[in-house]
Copies of this chain bind each other. A is one copy, B any other.
Amino acid sequence: MGRAYWIWYPADFELYYAMKQNFSRVERGMGWPAFWKSEGFRNRVVFRRTYLLEKETTFTVYSRAVGYVLAGEAKYPFGSRITCGPGEIRISVHVGRIDAFPSVYIEGDVICSDGGWMAEDYDNPPVPAGCSRYFTEKDQDPEVWEYSEKIYEPVSVEAVAGGVLYEFETELTAALELRPADAADCAGHTDCGTETDLADLRVYCGESREEALDTTYCYYSWQPDGETGRCPRCAVRFAYIPGIRPEQIRVRAVHQYVDIPVRASFSCDDELLNRIWSVAEHTFMLCSGVFFIDGIKRDKWIWGGDAYQSLFVNQYLTADEDIERRTMLALRGNERMTTHINTIIDYTLYWILSVRAHYEAYGDADFVRQVWDKMTALMQFCGEQTDENGFFTGREGDWVYIDWADLDKTGALCAEQMLYARCLDTMAELSGICGHPELAGEYRRQYGEFCKRINAYFWDAQKHAYIDSFESGKRHVTRHANIFAVLFGIADEEKQKEIVEHVFLNDKIAAITTPYFKFYELEAMCRLGYLKEVLDVIRDYWGGMIRRGAVTVWEEYDPDIPEEEQYDMYGDRFGKSLCHAWGASPIYLLARYFVGLKVTDAGRGEYELDPHLEYFEKADVVLPVGKQQLHVHWDGEKLETELTGCGSAGSDAV
């Protein structure tokens, strides 16, 4: 049999699972579907391919959709073995489905659903069908994700307040399984749990001990299934069951995850940094499933800004291209754009920058070409939302975010213009590989003109800084636009120097308080050579969380907040996510600026190394370069590098 995949209309798979993901948030018994336009998959699709057969061959089409197979002039139902050839034959597989995206699996020696099938939706020109390396068997159902599983037994079982608290070694995304303890468990005790009705129990889950024990305010609590004892999959490190004795109920956690191999490791003489890497890695992998999500307890949503940062960590940790493609297709939705990604105008712009980051990391020109029409439609959508000065402002009701910070958002916001300029630059960079070299010049011209306008309207020579916005006349300065100006090269060298002195090293300019924007700030500082300072921040901020017992990186950490309030956020007890992807940035910063690795051609295994391991007495690091691994060994004096092996990362590309 030929190697076959389940195939579908491209992006349907991602749009379907994106809705599953974005509708999966639960808060204290209430579903909380994401508050943005959620776009569906197609319902009526046809897959076509013409074969030139050397001899007679047979094939069978499988599908859960309504439809039929047309081979030449003859029609066949799904599941029937079809014989055809020799000669040229055109195969069309017609499918319609309402409750999920239509997909088919074609089994045969020659005719099978490998690469080469085109998909049509009765609206647009034919496009190559989509597939996933996770769905390659005919008995699978592409609408049901098959998670990998790992069993965790509790590391402690403790009688508390008339119930039992179970603790696992770390935070998990797990389905808890309960069973009454039996005689064997109890070693001859007489009070085991065999008489307990599981359906009478309720399990309270927590990212923290405090949350699990708070049966009113904890986010997730479940009644286990009466037969299997299973609870739904959720974020859990602690589980509390009131009204039982420790010897009565056995609890284990079935951790469910998408198997994306980690291909990096980091070890240096500073154990705190090693621990920070490890905690960041665990955090990141928990938040990297079918898609990059923000956090595993909350929001469980796919956010464009968060996903953009995840791309950078992912490139140095797993180098898994598929999750990046899945996430970008999920975020962008269908071709025509009518609303901003996650309703946030900056998150729309990050999507363009995401495509660039993905391309620069892997040289994945096929994907760029696949989404080129989505890119141009996005740019057109944004291009129509400009004010009288030509600045990008969004429309009424759009969310101008940038960061949780005190920005003067009156009129056009400088940070948004920086992002928009970077998008123009990206379009200029990527036009060529998409077969539109003629557009590169036009985008380049727009970019130059736009940067000039930014400098004219937002640069304040007295303040030596870019101001938030000019309409209010307040000429308020924050770090945000100035960080982008450095990162995107919109500020020239002279301006960059002024920014360092008057913004970055100026205590009067409000500090960045979110780990989200700290990512950009630290990267800008790395670019400017402030590596020592960056390392101090990592040790201080991430180290501080770890000292407070974090096993995953928190959404936010403020050392001045007393411990009893440290899990509050958004005015909600336990509202803070304790496992948040955007906190994994130390992996990127250490790999990119301390090990100094920049992959220049993933396909050929080519890279540049600009190491700054002088801050460590020794270091042993492995990082992915294309399908290979780069081993970097530093003994305090000498640096040795070796490129080995072939990565295990598979690919959806067929």
Contacts and interface: CB of A to CB of B under 8 A. Distances in A.
Contact of A98 (B16, B34, B77): B16
Interface in A1-35: 16, 19-20, 22-23, 27, 29-35
Nearest to A100: B99
Given A77-B30, A339-B122, A339-B123, A96 B66 contact: no
B30 A122 contact: no
Interface in A219-233: none
Contacts of A179: none
B122 A33 contact: no
B123 A35 contact: no
A68 interface: yes
Contacts of A123: 37, 338-339
A152 B77 CA distance: 32
Interface in A71-125: 75-77, 94-100, 121-123
Chain B CB within 10 A, most for which of A31, A67, A68, A95: A31
Contacts of A95: 33
A9 to B, nearest CB: 12
A121 B44 contact: no
A343 interface: yes
Nearest to A25: B66
Contacts of A41: 40
A60 interface: no
A218 to B, nearest CB: 15
A51 interface: no
A38 interface: yes
A234 B27 CA distance: 45
Given A35-B46, A37-B123, A123-B339, 14 more contacts: A19-B96, A22-B96, A23-B96, A27-B75, A30-B67, A32-B67, A32-B68, A33-B44, A33-B94, A33-B96, A35-B94, A36-B44, A40-B43, A98-B100
Nearest to A75: B30
A37 B95 CA distance: 12
A38 B34 contact: no
A19 B98 contact: yes
Indicate the size class of the contact surface on chain A: 35 or more
A43 B40 CA distance: 7
Instruction: Identify whether the interface residues of A are mostly helix, strand, loop, or mixed.
Output: loop
A43 B38 contact: yes
A33 B339 contact: no
A98 B95 CA distance: 18
A336 interface: yes
Interface string A47-66: 00000000000000000011
A39 B33 CA distance: 22
Chain B CB within 10 A, most for which of A34, A42, A43, A46: A43
Contact of A35 (B16, B77, B122): B122
Q: What are the nearest 4 A-B pairs in CB distance? A: A33-B96, A31-B66, A99-B99, A38-B44
Nearest to A77: B30
Contacts of A121: 37
A404 B65 CA distance: 31
Contacts of A40: 40-41, 43, 98
Contacts of A36: 44, 122
Chain B CB within 10 A, most for which of A16, A46, A96: A96
A99 B98 CA distance: 7
A43 B23 CA distance: 10
A36 B34 CA distance: 31
Given A66-B23, A98-B19, A37 B44 contact: yes
Contacts of A100: 98-99
Contacts of A336: 336
